[in-house]
Amino acid sequence: MDKKTRMEELAREALKKGGFNGAWLYAENGQIVSKGALGFCDPQEKQPIAEDTIFQLASVSKQFTAAAVMLTVRRGLLGLEDKILKYFPELTAYENVTVRQLLTHTGGVPDYFGDADWFIRIWKEERRVPGNGEVPRFLCETKLKPDFAPGEKFSYSNTGYNLLALLVERLSGVPYEDFLQKNVFDPVGMGSTRCCHTRRDGVPFENYAQAIVLEDGKFVRDVDSKAVGDVIAFDGVNGDDYVYTNIFDMLAWDRALREGKVLTLEEQQIMYAPGKLLSGENAVYDEDEGMGYGFGWTVRRDEKLGLVVSHSGGMPGVSTWFERWIDADRVLVMLFNRDPLDYRAGMGAWDGLRAIAADREPKPIQTIEEIALPNPDKSKWESFCGKYEHPEDDDFIVDEVYLKDGELHAKAVDEDGVKLEFRLYPIGENEFGRKGGMLKLKFGDGCAMYNGFTCKKL
């Protein structure tokens, strides 16, 4: 079976099992091998997704910020080893952080999600969405301390990319959105691509895929969800997100990079080199996949296919992926605009398309119901019920376990502070999974173990 057929069948299977809602494109040597669009642009399922539908890129946007920085460096307006204090004298807490370290997430600048309340407070109390120019003010007023000394570690920081976009804007003398349009999108021919703020300013596209969140068993727009603060209050920043595009424009971007149209091949080599820590080790983004982090790109080497650069993106209801095999001349784009009904089916689609693109065999698309034990021993289930303590540094908090209609359920709080209640499906001995995520919760000796933590029952 050829790649085109395999990708189409996998996407349709994932759609049937609640794990696909979006568009994909895969090309080799600049020629499209497989493409498609399945699902809907709206929670009412009235507007089908088309192949030219426009999606929010989320953090895939960071590569465009890195490109803008490299163009600013080329013009002699900025140096990679410049300390950011030169341009932001108020940020004395980060005086030794360099531009290069912002690009590689090795500067220790804390991520703004560490104090999201600052943005939400301005949005609610002042009835406005803070602009990107207020990010230095955010760092000063919250008095967030550096996560570590510059160059000591790797820690993903959206804030660092906000500062990079602000640097480009101030040094070029034009709004960041206009800089990208004039210097990147227009020269490449990305006619459907914009850096904009759809929630703050309105949607500028007719064929736009709304971000759709699964909440209390129903699909709702992100702006109507419990995560509304996260999606509106941050919609004024730049650099880390807020580029909107479609699968065809991303293919055009791939070809422009390969041809050196916007960035020279020498500049790209710099961007594809993993950042270095003070120890001399590479900045590691994903140890399991062997990914380092360059300038807006994760970087790894495939034994057969050579250099591979990529980036993922995620916001409530949004999941995106852009992967380029530099030596093998392949590219894969995946743009999703809705939470999956079953998270494992969604990951199966994601991993499966990547596997086919890399000449590997994809795993079957499976839901939590399909892997759950058909006749579990429930004799111990009542002993698992109760409230549990949780470590302070755990993002996802399982707070309570209880029985409902003969099945185990849990109450939890996710990384955005949203309260959740969900059923636990038995997937092993005293081990349970969740439909809306990859949670594996195992009980034993008055404890619950998940996310690498052991939590005692109170």
- Residue 61: C-alpha distances to residues 97, 140, 155, 297, 447 (Å): 22, 26, 18, 10, 41
Q: What is the pLDDT of residue 183?
A: 98
Whole-angstrom distance between the N-terminal and C-terminal Cα of the chain? 54
Does residue 276 sit in the same domain as residue 133?
A: yes
CATH number at residue 134: 3.40.710.10
Q: How far apart, in whole angstroms, are the C-alpha atoms of residue 133 and residue 123?
A: 15
Record the pTM: 0.94
With the C-alpha atoms ordered 279, 280, 285, 287, is the resulting torsion angle positive or negative? negative
Q: What is the pLDDT of residue 244?
A: 98
Closest CA to 267 of 72, 99, 82, 84: 72
Q: What is the pLDDT of residue 227?
A: 84
Q: Is residue 361 part of a domain?
A: no
Q: What is the pLDDT of residue 453?
A: 83
Domain range enclosing 61: 21-339
Using 50 as the pLDDT threshold, list the residues of the chain that sit under it.
none
Region for residue 391 given its phi and psi (left: phi exceeds 0; alpha: psi -120 to 50; beta: otherwise): beta
Which of 318, 339, 360 terminates a domain? The answer is 339
Does residue 290 sit in the same domain as residue 190?
A: yes
Q: What is the pLDDT of residue 218?
A: 93
Beta carbons within 10 angstroms of residue 114's beta carbon: 12
Structure-token match 């034009």, residue found: 174
Does residue 329 sit in the same domain as residue 391?
A: no
Which residues face 373 on adjacent strands? none
Q: What is the pLDDT of residue 450?
A: 86
What are the DSSP E strand ranges found in 135-211? 194-195
Which of 293, 323, 339 terminates a domain? The answer is 339
Q: Is residue 243 part of a domain?
A: yes
Asked if 333 and 51 count as a contact pair (C-beta separation under 8 A), the reply is no
With the C-alpha atoms ordered 270, 276, 281, 285, is the resulting torsion angle positive or negative? negative
DSSP 77-103: S--TT-BGGGT-TT-GGGTT-BHHHHH
Does residue 82 sit in the same domain as residue 125?
A: yes
